[in-house]
Each structure stands twice: as C-alpha cells, then as structure tokens.
Chains A and B, each alone.
Chain A
Amino acid sequence: MANADLAHVRSEEAPTLPAPVSTTGAIGWMRKNLFSSVGNTILTFIGIWLAYSIIAPIIQFAFIDAVWTGDDRQACLATQEGQTVGACWAYVKAYLPQFIYGRYPLEERWRVDVVFVLLVFTMVPLLIPSLPRKGLNAILFLVVFPVVAYFLLTGLVIGDNVILPIVQTAQWGGLLVTLVIAVTGIVASLPLGIALALGRRSQMPIVKLVSIIFIEFWRGVPLITVLFMASVVLPLFLPDGVTFDKLLRVLIGVTLFASAYMAEVVRGGLQAIPKGQYEGAQALGLRFWPMMYLIILPQALKMVIPGIVNTFIGLFKDTTLVLIVGMFDLLGQIQSSFSDPNWSTPTQSYTGYLFATAIFFVFCFGMSRYSIFMERKLHTGHKR
C-alpha cells in the first residue's frame, strides 16, 4: 500500500476561519452579556423596562415638556385642560444670578467672577499631575489665592480710600457661599489635619492623647450639632464685645470638623510609608521637621490625594447644611426662591431640585472621577 495518494492528508495549513458570528461583534457581546441564559434574558428585559420607566419621564419632564422662556409664572402654567407642563427653566433662568451670587450687590459681582476664575486657574493646574512647578502652584493656591479672594470678596479699605467697597457676608449666597465654605474648609483643614495626624502618631503620650480625643470627638458628632455650636455657643466663649461674623463662625466649625476627617486620611498616608524611609532620613541626620517636610510628607500626601478629594466631595455636599443655621448656600437659595409668588407653579419645586441635583452631581461626580483617575495613576507607581 502506497501512502502517497491518501487524499485526506493536508499538505498545507488550513486557512484560519473567522470566529463564528455568534461569538464576536455586537451579537457575540449581546449573547454573552445580555442573553446568556433564560434567567439572564428575563433580567435584561426587566432591566430595560426599569431603566425606560425611570429615564423616559425624566427626559419628558426636563426637555420635551419643558418651558424654556417666559417672564413669570404664566409661562409655566398649563394653558388648556390636559396639557402637561414640564420643567420651568424660565424660572431657573430668571433666578440664576441669585443662585450663583445670592444678594451680592449687582455692580460688585465682577469681583466674585474674578475669584471664580482665580480659583480655576490656581486649582486646576495643581490637580493635573503632568504640569510642572507643583510647589509654587501649591503656595499660590493655598496661601496667595485665599488672601486675594478674601479682599476681593469682602472688600478693601485702606485708611479713607475705598479701593473695593465692603460687602457684608450676609449678602453672600448661592454657589458663592457653597464654594467659599467648601474651599476654605479644605484649605484650612489640611494643615490642621496634618498636625493632628502627626500628633496621633507621636511618641509623646499627652500629644497623642489630645490628638486622639480631638479627632474622635469631631468624628463622633453630626455636622449639624457642630454648626449649631458654631452659631449659638461660640459667641458665648468669647469676651464681651468680641463678635464674629456669622459666616466666619460657620467656617471655624466646618474647618474643625473637616480637619478631624483630614487627619484620618493623612494618617492613612503616613502609615503607608515604609519604616525604612523614616530610618533613612534619620540616618542622614535630619531632625523631625526636616524629615517630615522633605521625605515623609511629600510621599504621604501624594498617596492620599484621592482621600483628600473624597473628603472635599463630602464637605461640598455637607455645605448644604448651613441653610439650617440660616445661611443661604446654593440649596438654601433655591429653597427660598420657592416662596416667590411670581414663579409659583406646580412644577417649580421639581425644577429647582432638578437644577440643584444637576449642579451638585456634575461637581461631585467630576471630582470622584478625578479621584479614581489619581488612584489608578498612583497605584501603578507602586507596582514593581
């Protein structure tokens, strides 16, 4: 028997066939992720129905049925029987300046705008890791910006020369107050938090005890009680005649509160630094503060950027609580606009809350995305 003419023996490689249509592309993806089994298929349809029944009414309300222009409530009322009126964006448009500036005087609002612009120009470069000169940038944002912003917002009078007219903080409101409280809270609580974190890890028993008591006290009480304390009790603690601005009192309360959380975040970073770093620094002859300043803190703080951003998100959301002690942040301003009879319509509160939700969501979601981005970026740095 000669083997030479056995036809079924291949003499060359078979051509590679494309994968079956059912396992690749959109169909393959759907089969794998949506319809892999009977139960999964049912789940998919329930999920689609659920998503549709939630999203469709919102889109209907916010866009399709919405009223975009108008001068008063008449624009947002149903003109004939059975007509559904959605979001009253005309009301938001009319109130937008109040939502941003509160009752800040009209002719001085450019000062607030300048502060917003400065905030963006000093903070954003600090957050982008690839940009150089972080040290200078940090000084600009943490030291120069607060001073400039303070004088821009409150006013500047030298002697008898009114360079910038004084604006009382009672006239501030809206997004301005939200940002002032959140940014001040975070900027002021950072150094305090670092000090407390170092204190909690200190060898000195009394320093350690005091730090622990301070941190656990502020972390254990709700922010509302802190705000009540700041607005009601703080004046009692001061000598007769010494009074604080209400906003300043709230800022002190928020800062103390935030610094306890900040301390725990920073402590996490300090704990993550290997002991060899401390020992190496000490072996080089560095004392405590140079060691912290040059070796430990730069590494620890970099590591906890996501934690700091998360604290900031929490603080940003928590600023809404100041409306309970009678200040008007963004939410407070929106809430108080509901009492205006000129715009009182059935959909007014929904519109206001939808607007507030959108603003807060954009800010907080953006920051949380940034925090995740930093976490990934920092994580790869530690994989060897």
Chain B
Amino acid sequence: MAVLEQDTAATPARASLMNDPKIRGIFYQVLLVAFLVLSGWFIVSNTIVNLERQNIASGFGFLDNTAGFGIIQTLVPYAETSSYGQALFAGFLNTLLVAVVGIALATVLGFVAGIARLSPNWVISQIAYWYVEILRNVPLLLQIFFWYFAVLRAVPGKRDKWSLFDTFHLNIGGLRAPKPLFESGSDIVFYALLAAIAATVFIARWARKRQEATGQQFPSLLTGFGLILGLPLITFFVMGMPIGLEHPVFNETGPMLQRGFQLNVGINVIPEFLALTVALAIYTSAFIAEIVRAGIQAVSHGQTEAAHALGLRQGPTLRLVIIPQAMRVIIPPLTSQYLNLTKNSSLAVAIAFPDLVSVGGTVLNQTGQAIEVIAVWMMVYLSLSLLTSMFMNWYNQRMALVER
C-alpha cells in the first residue's frame, strides 16, 4: 500500500487541468449553470419589461376576480358571478370527469379488442386488427371532429328524439337519461353496500390465509359477488325502495317552443362531453388493445403447458398463471396510456367542452394573464403525470421479479 501511494505521489503534475475528467466535468457543469442562469435572467427581464409595457399585472391575484362567463357543464356550483379560480377549478373537475369515464370505457374496449386480436377465429381477429390499425392511425382531433360535427349533428333536432328502451334518449341537445332520486332511507342502502365491500375484502383475506395453510379453497369470488349485489338489494326492498328514478320529460304537444325535453329533469349529457369521451375512449382503446395483446403474448406458451401438466383447467390456467404474468407486462404501459388520455382530453378546447384548458383559454382571453394561466395548466398536468409515475414506481417495485 505504502509503495503504491508513494508512486502516485511521485507522478509528475498533469500537463493540463482540462485533461482531468473530474475538473473538466465541473467546468462544463459550471458553464451549463451559467448559461441557464443567463438565459433565465434574459427571459425574466424581458417578460417584466413586456408586461409593464402592456399594463398587465403579474401574479395570481386575478383568480379572485369575478369571471363573468358561464360554463355549460359543471360538477360544482358555479355561476357567472363566481371567480376565475372557481371557473378553473370547475374546468379541472370536468377534465377529471372526462378522464375517469374515458379511462373506464377505453379499458373495457381495449381489453375486448386485444383479446379478440388473439382469437383463433380468423374473422374476429381480422376485425380487431383493422379496428386497432384504423383508429390509431387517424389523428385524435379528426376523430373528435367526426363524432362532434358529423355524428352528433346527424341526430334528431330539439323537438324530436331517438330512444333506447324508452329510457335513454338522444337528440341534438345530447343524451338524456333517468336520474336516481335518493329519498330518506337511501343512505342505509349505501351503508349496506359499504358493509358488503368490507365483508368481501375480509372474506377474501381469510380465504387466502386458509388456502395457504390448509390447501382448501373457498369460492370467495362468488361470495363477494353475492354480497355486493345481494346485501344492498335486500336492504333496498326492506327499506321500501327509497331510490327512485326521475325520467326525462319530453313534451310532444303544447306550444311549439316548449316542445322537446323539459329543462333540469333527468340527467342531460351534453354532446360535447359525449363526442370527446367517445373519441378519446375509442382512440385510446386501440393503443390499449396492442398493449394487452403484447402482454398476453409475452407469457410463453410453456407456462400454459406447465399449468396444464399440473392438472389446471383452462379457466384456472388463465386466472392463476397467464393473467398475473401478463398484467406485470401490461400495467406500466397501460398507466402511461391513461395519462395520455388525460393529457389528450385537453383537445376539448377544439369543440368547446369546458375542461381545464378550454376554461383557461377563456380566462386567458379575458384577463390577458397568459403566463399565469399556462402555468396553472402545466402545473396541473405535471402533477398528474408525477402522481402517475410515482404509482408506476411503486407498482414496479411491488411486482419486480424476486430472483435468486
């Protein structure tokens, strides 16, 4: 050791400090930081000068001012007298609504198409193939326009309708559906549902423990179904059917102007929401279908054969062997598709559905607070994607293969 140290100490000083990777690294990084600080300062100073020249006050104070514009669909109480902040919040909730409904629809469609693609039936797999190829190779905005300007403009006008089972009605004003009415006693039905879910979770845990200990199986899936469906249903009838339906009212007679659907009776899904959600769900489902197909194909055929050799039937083979392994491959890209759907919901602005970007655009035009509005947009979407990647990291850690 001592000899080695002496040797290094004895080597002559290097010709140039720049040849030392460490010093060179520090030098380049200092250069980068200086460049970033300088360009940041350049941008900030220019912006301040420009804002002063245009008489725009910076800061988020404008969020408390009265908005003065209406929003056609809100999940929270909102009026024209509400503030800009409340308007943006209502828009954010609409974004979330589109995202949640779209994700649910896209997942169902995507899994169906992905599994159909792998079907041994040639016709079915070809249909799935062209479904995927056509939908993912046509721009989303074009699809939204198609649904909004072509399909939903071809439905009957205000004084007419198309009906399905006499419950769901479609016309130019959007989709009308019955609205559930919660009367006294309905909260007990709700509690029954919660109790059933809790019991199902408890039973599933107990069943797994028992199976691990004794090898005896318990049909926890069926029991769960029975509990979650049955318990609320029984309470519903015991309490004397406290949940009713408020059907939309359609006036076919009377003065011409009052014909059509009565306002504020039943649920009205506006056509902007319909077009956006359907287009987003269908577009994303094509990508999900490919992910599902790749995920299932990633499980080697040997796994199926081994499971069959162990005596598992087709059903348990799928449920216990194939799907858990496929999900490991499917879930990470699936989450990023969910995130894509959420980000793509910003295209709402093209058909004036009041989502975060659309409402923000109106605020931007009214106040001229471009930087602040865009900062709000970006912060919201960035935190959503940060949350998603945190979930992914957690999932990947949980699901990582434990190797010897």
Contacts and interface: CB of A to CB of B under 8 A. Distances in A.
Interface of A: 33-34, 36, 40, 43-44, 47-48, 50-51, 203-207, 210, 216-217, 219-222, 224-225, 228-229, 232-233, 235-240, 313, 317-318, 320-321, 323-324, 331, 335, 338, 349-350, 353, 356-357, 360-361, 364-365, 368
Interface in B368-404: 370-371, 374, 377-378, 381-382, 384-386
Contacts of A203: 25
A225 B377 contact: yes
10 contacts: A43-B124, A51-B123, A220-B381, A225-B378, A228-B377, A317-B139, A324-B350, A353-B142, A353-B146, A357-B138
A360 B25 contact: no
A40 B120 contact: yes
A236 B121 contact: no
A256 B123 CA distance: 43
Nearest to B51: A236
A153 B146 CA distance: 32
Given A206-B29, A207-B29, A224-B357, A47 B46 contact: no
A335 B146 CA distance: 11
B270 interface: no
Contact of A204 (B28, B53, B127, B149): B28
B120 A36 contact: yes
A376 to B, nearest CB: 15
Among A40, A220, A235, A360, which residue has the most Cβ atoms of chain B within 10 A?
Answer: A220
B376 to A, nearest CB: 10
B64 interface: no
B306 interface: no
Contact of A320 (B51, B127, B139, B349): B139
A331 B141 contact: yes
Interface stretch (B188-196, B221-229, B320-328, B339-347): B339-347
B349 A318 contact: no
B137 interface: yes
B145 interface: yes
Given A232-B374, A240-B49, A353-B142, A34 B122 contact: yes
Contacts of A228: 357, 361, 364, 370, 374, 377
A348 to B, nearest CB: 10
A32 to B, nearest CB: 8
Given A206-B33, A220-B386, A353-B150, 9 more contacts: A44-B124, A210-B32, A222-B343, A222-B381, A232-B364, A236-B47, A239-B49, A323-B141, A323-B350
B385 A44 contact: no
Contacts of A206: 29, 32-33
B366 interface: no
A233 B370 contact: yes
A216 B137 CA distance: 25
Contacts of B262: none
B38 to A, nearest CB: 14
Interface in B11-38: 25, 28-29, 32-33, 36
Interface in B112-143: 119-124, 126-127, 133-134, 137-142
A338 B153 CA distance: 14
B211 interface: no
B358 to A, nearest CB: 10
B121 A364 contact: no
Contacts of A33: 120-122
Given A221-B343, A222-B343, A210 B123 contact: no
Given A44-B123, A317-B140, A240 B150 contact: no
B65 interface: no
Contact of A357 (B29, B142, B384): B142
B46 A236 contact: yes
Looking at chain B's contact residues, the main secondary structure is: helix
Nearest to A369: B133
B47 A237 contact: yes
Q: Most A CB atoms within 10 A — which of B25, B127, B137, B347? A: B137
A217 B385 CA distance: 9
Nearest to B128: A47
Given A222-B344, A323-B350, A324-B349, A368 B137 contact: yes
A221 B120 contact: no
A353 B343 CA distance: 24
A356 B142 CA distance: 8
B50 interface: yes
A318 B139 contact: yes
B378 A44 contact: no
Contacts of B122: 33-34
A364 B138 contact: yes
B53 to A, nearest CB: 7
Given A221-B377, A321-B347, A361 B137 contact: yes
A74 to B, nearest CB: 22
Contacts of A320: 139, 141-142
Contacts of A51: 123, 126-127
A207 B24 CA distance: 13
Given A33-B120, A34-B122, A240-B50, A331 B139 contact: yes
A169 to B, nearest CB: 21
A302 to B, nearest CB: 23
A368 B357 CA distance: 31
Given A220-B385, A222-B343, A225-B378, A360 B138 contact: yes
B72 interface: no
A264 B386 CA distance: 17
Contacts of B28: 204, 207
A220 B123 CA distance: 39
Interface in B147-201: 149-150, 153
B371 A233 contact: yes
Contacts of B134: 361
In the A-B complex, the 3 residue pairs with the closest CB atoms: A47-B123, A364-B137, A220-B385
Most B CB contacts (10 A, CB to CB) among A204, A205, A335 go to: A204
A361 B123 contact: no
B121 A47 contact: yes
B292 to A, nearest CB: 18
B54 to A, nearest CB: 8
Contacts of A204: 25, 28-29
Nearest to B340: A222
Q: Which of B36, B49, B140, B150 has the most chain A CB within a 10 Å cutoff?
A: B150
Given A33-B121, A237-B47, A225 B350 contact: no
B257 interface: no
